[in-house]
Amino acid sequence: MALSLTGADRYSPEKLPLLEQHVDEQVANRTWNLDANVALLRFYQFSPASVKPQLIVKILVKAIMQAPNPDYKYCITLLPERLQQVDESIFKAVQLANALETSRFGDFWTTANTCRDLLGSIPGFYESVRGFIAHTLVHTYGRVTKRTLADCLKLEGATLDQYLSDKCRAAGWSIVNTPAGDVVALPKNDYNQSVVKRSQELIRFEQVAPMLKAVTVGF
């Protein structure tokens, strides 16, 4: 589709139908076009009469699926607060995003359970959010109990085992037998093991110097 977001008519309302249609295309094709969606939300803000809440919800849910990229944050500040309050689905999407953002995975799944129809209509939703939850775990845990995994990912029994065996095959996870039972070893990275003073690499001495001085003076 020829959807140009640059040029002289980039803010032109004639683009509205194209942008709206594009949301459904992204849902169907499992793609994501941040600029187009932000442009649509911008139109809606300027022209409240044309707002279609069901499309806003789709954008928000798709944005949540981009985590850890902050696309949801880019979108939500464009949305008038009133919409978040009056539209049930939008309100739900906001709750989902907030729960995910703060790792309240239990709350996330509870809320997700109340809007299964909506989330089921967005192909790839569960896969994406589980991907993000796993990403968070991999950055925090060296080894993790199956119980914690099951709770965070909301997977049980055979489904969990299937998920784990996929991860073991494709993502470097492994199951370790220990005296205390099976635990899952997650692939090592800079964040889930003890590292020695990485902060030194991040900064040059001349950047630290003023801080060191400040510390001696007392902050």
Partner 1 sequence: MAFRGGYDDGYEGFVQVPDIVKQWAHYFYRHIRERNIPEIQSMYEISFMKLSDRYYKAAPWPEVQHIQEVVDQDHEMYFRHLYARCQPTLRDRCDSWDNYLDLFGLLLTSNVNMQLPNIWLWDMVDEFLYQFQSFCQYRGKVQSMSPEEIENVKKCEAKKVWNTVEVLNILQALVDKSGIVAELEGDGGVRLSELQGYYPQSSNVLRMLGYFSLVGLLRVHCLVGDYITGLKAIYPLNLHERTHLFSPSIPGAHITLFYYGGFAYLMQRRYLDAARCFNAVLLYIYRVKAAHRSSPTFEQMLKKNEQMYALLAICLALCPVAAKSLDENVLMQLRERQSDNMAAMSRGDIDVYDTLFRDACPKFVTSTPPAYDQATTNTNQLAFRAQLNSFLQEVRSGQTLPQLKQYLLLYEGGVGSIALSRLAGLMDVEEGALRQQLLCLKNKQRQLKWEGGRDMTAGTWTVASDLEFHIDVDPQTGREMVLVSDTQQVGEGRAFSVGEGVKTEGG
Q: Is 141 in the site for partner 1 (CB under 8 A)?
A: yes
- Among positions 1, 29, 77, 117, the unique one binding partner 1 when judged by CB under 8 A: 77
- Among positions 27, 40, 76, 96, the unique one binding partner 1 when judged by CB under 8 A: 76
Tell me whether residue 29 or residue 193 sits nearer to partner 1 (CB atom): 193
CA distance 118 to 115: 6
Tell me whether residue 62 or residue 117 sits nearer to partner 1 (CB atom): 62
Q: Is 46 in the site for partner 1 (CB under 8 A)?
A: yes
Tell me whether residue 124 or residue 147 sits nearer to partner 1 (CB atom): 147
Tell me whether residue 123 or residue 139 sits nearer to partner 1 (CB atom): 139
Residue 178: strand pairing partners: 181
Q: Which position has the token pair 């985590």?
A: 67
- The residue count for binding partner 1 (CB under 8 A) is 72
CB atoms within 10 A of CB 10: 11
Residue among 59, 69, 168, 149 at smallest CA distance from 105 = 149
- Among positions 21, 52, 106, 124, the unique one binding partner 1 when judged by CB under 8 A: 106
Q: Is 201 in the site for partner 1 (CB under 8 A)?
A: no
Q: Residue 115, SS3?
A: coil
CA distance 207 to 213: 11
For residue 169, give Cα distances in angstroms to 15, 157, 165, 175.
45, 18, 6, 11
Q: Could you check whether the bond before residue 68 is cis, i.e. omega within 30 degrees of 0?
A: yes
CA distance 212 to 205: 10
Q: Is 103 in the site for partner 1 (CB under 8 A)?
A: yes
Tokens of 108: 């996330």
Stretch that binds partner 1, among 39-47, 54-62, 116-124, 165-173 (CB under 8 A): 39-47
- Among positions 117, 158, 193, 205, the unique one binding partner 1 when judged by CB under 8 A: 193
For residues 56 and 83, the answer to whether their CB atoms sit within 8 Å is yes
Q: Is 42 in the site for partner 1 (CB under 8 A)?
A: yes
- Among positions 169, 202, 205, 216, the unique one binding partner 1 when judged by CB under 8 A: 202
Tell me whether residue 171 or residue 176 sits nearer to partner 1 (CB atom): 176
Q: Is 81 in the site for partner 1 (CB under 8 A)?
A: yes
Tell me whether residue 52 or residue 121 sits nearer to partner 1 (CB atom): 52
